[in-house]
């Protein structure tokens, strides 16, 4: 810290420059995500199972500074939807599993939900999708599974009655565990126990033009079998890959996506897109959670963002850019389960990055239990305090201009 300056103008400029210039990891992450977001195939999951998260208005500022254009919620929080009004950010909101059976048997409940959670916010807030239920299939709850498609249809009908069915898609998110087989990808097939529910689900997607959503986590495969699952293969790093007929897969996520395409084809559908509604890598875990490190998280998310920015498709669908929502925006301190569940965030609740990533330059993975990644020494600086003032500057200056001007002003003020 320099000596106090009596010139109030210089003081103000010095604070503006010095505060945001310090969290270099934060700015690197902003640039990285901002570059990827422009491709319109990147989104982020905004979970809120925590008691220390910032106000939604602060989150809106953070995401605008990152040029993030798509956000997925696990509910339809009115505070969040209001905070993002007139920002242009697209939202996918969610109907909780607890509502499915009521909506399936009472279409009026779906109409009421849409009237309360969608209609008041459109068009100021860009709600573009509704996820009805999360990982409903494959958990042995047959009553809920049987309610899934009727509930989705009820929500769709409620939107149609308001003239919104062409603007807001209706889908549901599924674990990759709905697949009985996923390797090789061409052998992809749905579990026999869920097939009776998947058939009408696929018919619904085909009729309405909505995508099939999967929550895909290569981390779980590596954690479960670190001796047999290649770390470079799950982290998008150089490796020999695996061959499936004439196709070569150099990462597990693409193989999982194509396994879903194969499973749908086996049921007679080649007209439905696949979107990854969740994927990510934890920066920390319990002692027995092999691979849960900041270094691996930086590699996974950084390399994934590079591929999204390239507009890359899977081996089976090379001309269809992958469509991914990364999990998650923040670490969530109240999530149950192993420590990894509370450490998927790109950011801490104070807005500082958990680790530094740069798309295309993520380093090699860490197969051990160390939680030390490529941290910046200033990464604990909050993005919601002085650093948030950088957002106002960036709205007025291009990124190139900002990069040129800041060092010059800093040098002048240091004189």
* 3-state SS class at 99: helix
Structural domain of 141: 28-373
Q: Are residues 13 and 54 in the same domain?
A: no
Q: What does the DSSP 8-state code read for residue 333?
A: T
Q: Are residues 290 and 392 in the same domain?
A: no
Tell me how far apart the alpha carbons of residues 290 and 282 are, in angstroms, rounded to a whole number.
Answer: 11
CATH number of domain containing 369: 3.20.20.80
Q: How large is the average pLDDT for residues 184-213?
A: 97
Residue for token pair 């897109």: 273
pLDDT tier, 126 (very low <50, low <70, confident <90, very high otherwise): very high
Q: From the candidates 1, 90, 98, 135, which is the catalytic residue?
A: 135
pLDDT over 70 at 208, yes or no: yes
Q: How large is the average pLDDT for residues 385-400?
A: 41
Q: Are residues 12 and 139 in the same domain?
A: no
Which tokens go with 151? 């509930």
- For the range 51-57, what are the long-range contacts, defined as Cβ-Cβ under 8 Å and sequence gap of 24 or more? 51/333, 51/334, 52/333, 52/349, 53/330, 53/332, 53/349, 54/349, 54/350, 54/351, 54/384, 55/83, 56/80, 56/82, 56/83, 56/84, 57/83
Comparing CA positions, the residue from 213, 315, 190 lying closest to residue 265 is: 190
Q: What is the pLDDT of residues 315-350, one digit of tens each?
A: 999 999 999 999 999 999 999 999 999 999 999 999
Query: What pLDDT was estimated at residue 379?
Result: 36
Contact (CB, 8 A) for 323 and 329: no
Please report, for residues 18, 230, 279, 309, the alpha-carbon distance to residue 219 in angstroms, rounded to integers and kept in the order given.
38, 11, 9, 22
Q: What percent of the chain has pLDDT over 90?
A: 73
Q: Are residues 289 and 141 in the same domain?
A: yes
Query: What pLDDT was estimated at residue 357?
Result: 81
pLDDT over 70 at 93, yes or no: yes
Q: Are residues 263 and 403 in the same domain?
A: no
Q: Are residues 164 and 256 in the same domain?
A: yes
Tell me how far apart the alpha carbons of residues 398 and 386 are, in angstroms, rounded to a whole number.
Answer: 20
Which tokens go with 220? 């779980």
Which tokens go with 90? 């697209």
* 3-state SS class at 93: strand
Q: Are residues 208 and 225 in the same domain?
A: yes
Query: What pLDDT was estimated at residue 236?
Result: 98
Q: What is the pLDDT of residues 366-380, one digit of tens each?
A: 665 433 333 232 333
Q: What is the pLDDT of residues 264-299, one digit of tens each?
A: 999 999 999 999 999 999 999 999 999 999 999 999
Strand spans (E) along 205-361: 212-215, 242-244, 247-249, 274-279, 324-326
Q: Are residues 313 and 403 in the same domain?
A: no
Q: Are residues 304 and 325 in the same domain?
A: yes
Alpha-carbon dihedral angle through residues 374, 375, 377, 380, given to the nearest 10 degrees: 170
Comparing CA positions, the residue from 86, 159, 68 lying closest to residue 125 is: 86
Q: Are residues 261 and 395 in the same domain?
A: no
Tell me how far apart the alpha carbons of residues 274 and 48 are, in angstroms, rounded to a whole number.
Answer: 25
User: Is 289 a known active-site residue?
Assistant: no
Q: From the candidates 1, 98, 192, 278, which is the catalytic residue?
A: 278
Q: How large is the average pLDDT for residues 108-114?
A: 98
pTM metric for this prediction: 0.82
Q: What is the pLDDT of residues 228-245, one digit of tens each?
A: 999 999 999 999 999 999
pLDDT tier, 140 (very low <50, low <70, confident <90, very high otherwise): confident
Query: What pLDDT was estimated at residue 409?
Result: 40
Q: Are residues 90 and 212 in the same domain?
A: yes
Q: Is 287 exposed, middle or buried (0-12, 13-18, 19+ CB in 10 A)?
A: exposed
Mean pLDDT of the chain: 84
pLDDT tier, 2 (very low <50, low <70, confident <90, very high otherwise): very low
Q: Are residues 391 and 285 in the same domain?
A: no
What count of other Cβ atoms lies within 10 Å of the Cβ of residue 295? 25
Q: Is 294 exposed, middle or buried (0-12, 13-18, 19+ CB in 10 A)?
A: buried
Query: What pLDDT was estimated at residue 301?
Result: 97
User: Is 278 a known active-site residue?
Assistant: yes
Query: What pLDDT was estimated at residue 139?
Result: 85
Element of type H or E holding 190: strand 189-190
Q: What is the pLDDT of residues 34-88, one digit of tens each?
A: 555 544 589 999 999 999 999 999 999 999 988 899 999 999 999 999 999 999 9
Looking at the structure of the chain, the number of domains it has is 2
pLDDT over 80 at 410, yes or no: no
Query: What pLDDT was estimated at residue 374?
Result: 33
């Amino acid at each position: 810290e320099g000596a106090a300056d009596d010139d109030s103008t210089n003081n103000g400029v010095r604070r503006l420059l010095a505060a945001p210039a310090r969290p270099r990891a934060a700015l690197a992450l902003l640039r990285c995500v901002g570059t990827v977001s422009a491709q319109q195939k990147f989104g982020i999951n905004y979970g809120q199972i925590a008691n220390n998260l910032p106000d939604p208005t602060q989150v809106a500022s953070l995401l605008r500074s990152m040029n993030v254009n798509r956000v997925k919620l696990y509910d339809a929080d009115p505070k969040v939807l209001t905070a993002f009004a007139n920002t242009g950010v697209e939202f996918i909101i969610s109907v909780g599993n607890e509502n499915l059976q009521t909506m399936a048997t009472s279409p009026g409940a779906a109409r009421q939900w849409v009237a309360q959670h969608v209609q008041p916010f459109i068009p100021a807030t860009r709600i573009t999708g509704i996820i009805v239920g999360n990982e409903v299939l494959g958990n042995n709850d047959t009553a809920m599974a049987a309610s899934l498609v009727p509930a989705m249809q009820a929500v769709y009908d409620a939107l149609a009655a308001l003239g919104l069915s062409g603007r807001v898609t209706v889908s549901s998110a599924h674990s990759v565990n709905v697949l009985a087989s996923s390797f090789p990808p061409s052998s992809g097939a749905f579990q026999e126990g869920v097939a009776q529910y998947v058939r009408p689900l696929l018919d619904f997607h085909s009729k309405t033009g909505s995508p099939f959503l999967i929550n895909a986590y290569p981390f779980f495969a590596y954690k479960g079998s670190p001796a047999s699952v290649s770390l470079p293969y799950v982290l998008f790093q150089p490796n020999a890959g695996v061959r499936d007929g004439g196709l070569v897969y150099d990462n597990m996520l693409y193989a999982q996506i194509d396994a879903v395409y194969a499973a749908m084809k086996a049921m007679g559908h080649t007209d439905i897109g696949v979107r990854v509604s969740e994927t990510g890598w934890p920066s920390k875990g319990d002692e027995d959670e092999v691979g849960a490190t900041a270094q691996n998280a930086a590699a996974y998310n950084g390399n994934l963002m590079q591929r999204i920015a390239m507009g890359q498709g899977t081996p089976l669908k090379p001309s269809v850019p992958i469509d991914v929502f990364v999990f998650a925006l923040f670490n969530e301190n109240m999530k149950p389960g192993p420590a990894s569940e509370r450490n998927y965030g790109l950011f801490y609740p104070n807005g500082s990055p958990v680790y530094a990533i740069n798309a295309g330059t993520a380093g090699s993975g860490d197969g051990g239990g160390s939680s030390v990644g490529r941290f910046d020494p200033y990464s604990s600086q909050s993005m919601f305090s002085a650093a948030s003032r950088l957002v106002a500057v960036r709205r007025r200056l291009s990124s190139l201009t900002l990069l040129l001007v800041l060092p010059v002003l800093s040098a002048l003020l240091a004189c």
